[in-house]
Amino acid sequence: MSHKSFASLLAAALLSGCASVSMESKDKSDAAKTFRQPTAGNAGIYVFRSGSFGGSLKKDVWINGRCLGESAPNVFFYEEVPGGAEHKVSTESEFSPNDLILKVVAGVNYFVRQYIKMGVFVGGAGLELVSEEDGKKEVAKLELAAKGTCSKPG
């Protein structure tokens, strides 16, 4: 087998398998999907990963350098942060974290899509802010991941 064929097979296997992470109860997941207004003075941040591309890859997610946990396909995290401030949402990629800076307003929920992209060796990850409408539609189809331990420091 040539090196190109082997590399292609390896990439396909890594990007199409199925990673799993610890999940919260259905009740907690359903409650988070009601999209309630955050508690007084806070904003809510939903970080989600939908679809099966990169299925075998788990990617760390942090807010302000604090670990939320490892993501996998079709999961989301929810975190409240102080409103009226900038917050850094980060995810690991091949060589360094990718960051998204959000200036949040108290009382508002924000939706951040984590996506997998092809890299030199394995898939990297990126983040993008999506509209409330699109975010709610996506998160409604997903399940709440348990907060946990990241594989690398934020």
26 in any annotated domain: yes
**Closest among 95, 111, 146, 115 to 53, alpha carbons compared:** 115
153 in any annotated domain: no
Q: How confident is the model at residue 48 (pLDDT cuts 50, 70, 90)?
A: very high
Most distant pair of Cα atoms in the chain: their distance: 61
59 in any annotated domain: yes
Place of tokens 């890299």: 119
pTM over 0.85: no
How many Cβ atoms are within 10 Å of 140's Cβ, its own excluded?
Answer: 11
Cα 114 to chain centroid, rounded: 4
154 in any annotated domain: no
> Containing domain of residue 97, as a range?
3-144
149 in any annotated domain: no
Rounded Cα distance, 108 and 11, in Å: 39
Query: 10 with 130: CB under 8 angstroms?
Result: no
151 in any annotated domain: no
pLDDT at 18: 47
Count of domains forming the chain: 1
pLDDT at 135: 98
Q: How does pLDDT run across 53-95, given as a tens digit for each residue?
A: 555 688 899 999 999 999 989 999 999 999 999 999 999 876 6
pLDDT at 14: 40
